[in-house]
Amino acid sequence: MGLMACDDFENQRRGYRMQQVFKRPAALKDVQTHFCPGCHHGTIHRLVAEALDEFKLQEKTIGVASVGCSVFLYHYFDIDVIEAPHGRAPAVATGVKRASPDSFVFTYQGDGDLAAIGTAEIIHAANRGEDITVIFVNNTTYGMTGGQMAPTTLLGQKTSTSPYGRRSEKEGFPIRVTEMLSGLEGVAFAARTAVNTPKNLMDAKRQIKKAFQYQVEGKGFSFVEVLSACPTNWGMDAVGANERIGNEMCEYFKLGVFKNTASL
Amino acid sequence: MGAIEAGCRYYFGYPITPQNDIPEFMSREMPGLNGEFIQAESEIAAINMVMGAAATGVRAMTSSSSPGISLKLEAISYMAGMELPCLIVNISRSGPGLGGIDASQGDYFQAVKGGGHGGYHIVVIAPASIQEMYDMTMHAFDLAEIYRTPVMILGDAVVGQMKEPLIPHPRPKTELPAKDWALRGTGGGAQRIVKSLFLGDGELEAHNWKLHAKYQQLQEKESRWEEYETSDATLIVTGFGSAARIAKTAVMMAREEGLKVGLLRPITLFPFPAEAFSVVTEHCKMILDIELNTGQMVEDVRLSVARDVEVFFYGRPSGTGSLPTPEELLGQIKRYL
């Protein structure tokens, strides 16, 4: 007789009943992801899915996938999804939301997609105050294409296209997107979070929920940046990559709520 | 006006000459119709907004002029791949580059041969009058939904800005397929995905063959053209849009002089009315193609005529003062008769 059976027997004898306290969110499908070991996309997917579940949004959501590792949103989320061209997700989401204002609309974009090729689209969707939510996953590199330099790559960081480390005099400085967007009148909510520690993860969940609440209540454009690990392209193991977020990324990309117009 | 009668309530655009009349009109009309008008931050954003709106199943459109269409081609390729219906109006201007704002037909290749990447077609319609612009805009939305494809109205500064009588009429009743692909939230049902990425073994090839079959079906069923005095013509003049409009006057002048001249004007450029050319060239010996460029549609004409038919070309690439007169074209007709 195994240990579990013993516990079950003991529980029954004492009149306890088993209760499921942790399960897959309904908004996520029961499939394996293609993400590398130590990658945070799966974690962030889960937080987004939990928030969708908690607001009961799954059935009225239209997700906008972007180009990069995040493109397979539709493989993992059990929601309607449109796959936007590279960087264009905020414009596509604008069209979706304007034509279907009762739908819950979010984009899920990486830093290459949002902060380089899609700079114009994110700034203007934010500035119009579109009633959408943007989840911005910042891992300081182009993950899908093999770890090239991104607009958010830290100074000195070596990537496949900055083999000697990013130099400010040639490649400029890492863009702090959340701070930049917070300066726009159209932005209702903007926060930067991370998922490298349990505490940060719980906070990321809170901020994602807040951002969703903004849209649910029709209070305008909401934005959550999530600092995320890309161990494969950073050339690190999962633990080392997780530590880099706290030691290096959080130093330059400060966590916090930068805008919260409705004080939710 | 045609778009509004066709039920389009979502317009996304960007200012560029000579198409500005369209966004200005739409910005005035849409609020009163409970529609949406957005002057986007770029041509690229505008067409991507069309993509998003179209994915929810509504009738959406954008308009632009040549350099703006070049910027939209990325998303047009995506929408061809995603099989999303929409209307794109190109009131084309002259090029290449910034070119000029005169009437031009330099965008035939871009419109008809795909333009963007990946080997696709969209339906291209070239009206030659305001009435036809109105009628074909309504038809364009129907075709877009029936075939799940972007449709382009290709005009120029002449058909885009001229003033002439229009008889408005209700949108024709057309049987349209159910939009079982449109994104509305699952509502507890099956997930719907609108995408153009196909990575599975054989998936993309199958998708391309499906698109190819659609293009063939369009070719068989949906080509349109106008014929004028072709039955006894020795020489048939051809051309599209504003060039054909000028050419028609020249053909009328030639008929008054007793010359056996007719006109065959493709209204749809894709699908190209190849069959019509094949039929008329069984009895006529010569075709004279007139375009406001140095020769683009003429390639499709040459591929469509019966054997032993001579195809001549007269073109004026556009620029200020380059629009040919009917007299000039009559002179060209007489060179061959």
Are B56 and A64 an interchain contact pair (Cβ–Cβ within 8 Å)?
no
Are B193 and A82 an interchain contact pair (Cβ–Cβ within 8 Å)?
yes
State the pLDDT at residue B318: 79
Are B55 and A82 an interchain contact pair (Cβ–Cβ within 8 Å)?
yes
Are B38 and A61 an interchain contact pair (Cβ–Cβ within 8 Å)?
no
Of the candidates A82, A91, A123, the beta carbon closest to that of B183 is on A82
User: Which A residues, 117 through 156, put their C-beta within 8 Å of a C-beta on chain B?
Assistant: 120-121, 123-124, 128
User: What class has domain B226-334?
Assistant: alpha beta
Residue A23 pLDDT > 60: yes
Q: How confident is the model at residue A1 (pLDDT cuts 50, 70, 90)?
A: very low
- Supply the mean pLDDT for chain A: 95
* Collapsed DSSP state (helix, strand, coil) of residue A187: strand
pLDDT tens readout for residues B209-268: 999 999 999 999 999 999 999 999 999 999 999 999 999 999 999 999 999 999 999 999
Percent of chain A predicted with pLDDT > 90: 91
Are B38 and A83 an interchain contact pair (Cβ–Cβ within 8 Å)?
no
State the pLDDT at residue B160: 83
pLDDT tens readout for residues A195-215: 999 999 999 999 999 999 999
Q: How far apart are the first and last CA of chain B?
A: 43
Determine the topology of domain B2-184+208-221 in CATH. Answer: Rossmann fold (3.40.50)
Q: Region B284-307: what's the mean pLDDT?
A: 96
Are A121 and B41 an interchain contact pair (Cβ–Cβ within 8 Å)?
yes
Would the CA dihedral through A245, A247, A249, A254 be positive or negative? Answer: positive
Whole-angstrom CA distances from B35 to B10, B86, B226 are 6, 16, 35
DSSP at A117: I
Residue A20 pLDDT > 90: no
Taking one residue from A and the other from B, the number of pairs with CB-CB distance under 8 angstroms is 134
Q: Region A85-103: what's the mean pLDDT?
A: 98
Domain boundaries, chain A: 40-260
pLDDT tens readout for residues B155-195: 988 888 889 999 999 999 999 999 999 999 999 999 999 99
CB proximity A104 to B under 8 Å: yes
Q: Region B66-71: what's the mean pLDDT?
A: 97
Predicted complex ipTM:
0.94
What are the phi and psi torsion angles at B152 (to 5°)? -115, 135
The boundaries of every CATH 3.40.50.970 domain in chain B are 2-184+208-221
Are A80 and B185 an interchain contact pair (Cβ–Cβ within 8 Å)?
yes
| Chain A residues touching residue B185 (CB < 8 angstroms) | 59-62, 79-80, 103-104
Single-letter amino acid code for the residue at B162: M
| Chain B residues touching residue A84 (CB < 8 angstroms) | 48, 51-52
Right CATH number for A40-260 from 3.40.50.300, 3.20.20.70, 3.40.50.970, 3.20.20.140?
A: 3.40.50.970
State the pLDDT at residue A11: 72
Q: Three-state SS string across chain B, please?
A: CHHHHCCCCEEEECCCCCCCHHHHHHHHHHHHHCCEEEECCCHHHHHHHHHHHHHCCCCEEEEECHHHHHHHHHHHHHHHHHCCCEEEEEEECECCCCCECCCCCCCHHHHHCCCCCCCCCCEEECCCCHHHHHHHHHHHHHHHHHHCCEEEEEEEHHHHHCCCCCCCCCCCCCCCCCCCCCCCCCCCCCCCEECCCCCCCCHHHHHHHHHHHHHHHHHHHCCCEEEECCCCCCEEEECCHHHHHHHHHHHHHHHHCCCCEEEEEECEEECCCHHHHHHHCCCCCEEEEEECCCCCHHHHHHHHCCCCCEEEEEECCCCCCCCCCHHHHHHHHHCCC
- Scan for tokens 């400010």, then name that residue: A168
A83: closest chain B residue by CA: B195
Closest chain B C-alpha to A188 CA, distance in angstroms: 20
pLDDT tens readout for residues B298-336: 999 999 998 899 999 999 997 778 899 999 999 999 999
Are A71 and B197 an interchain contact pair (Cβ–Cβ within 8 Å)?
yes
State the pLDDT at residue A7: 65
Q: How confident is the model at residue A10 (pLDDT cuts 50, 70, 90)?
A: confident
pLDDT tens readout for residues A38-49: 999 999 999 999
* Collapsed DSSP state (helix, strand, coil) of residue A106: strand
Are B52 and A64 an interchain contact pair (Cβ–Cβ within 8 Å)?
yes
Percent of chain B predicted with pLDDT > 70: 100
Of the candidates B53, B187, B197, the beta carbon closest to that of A99 is on B53
Closest chain A C-alpha to B31 CA, distance in angstroms: 13
- Supply the mean pLDDT for chain B: 96
* Collapsed DSSP state (helix, strand, coil) of residue A34: coil
What's the rounded Cα separation, in Å, for the pair A160 and A140? 12
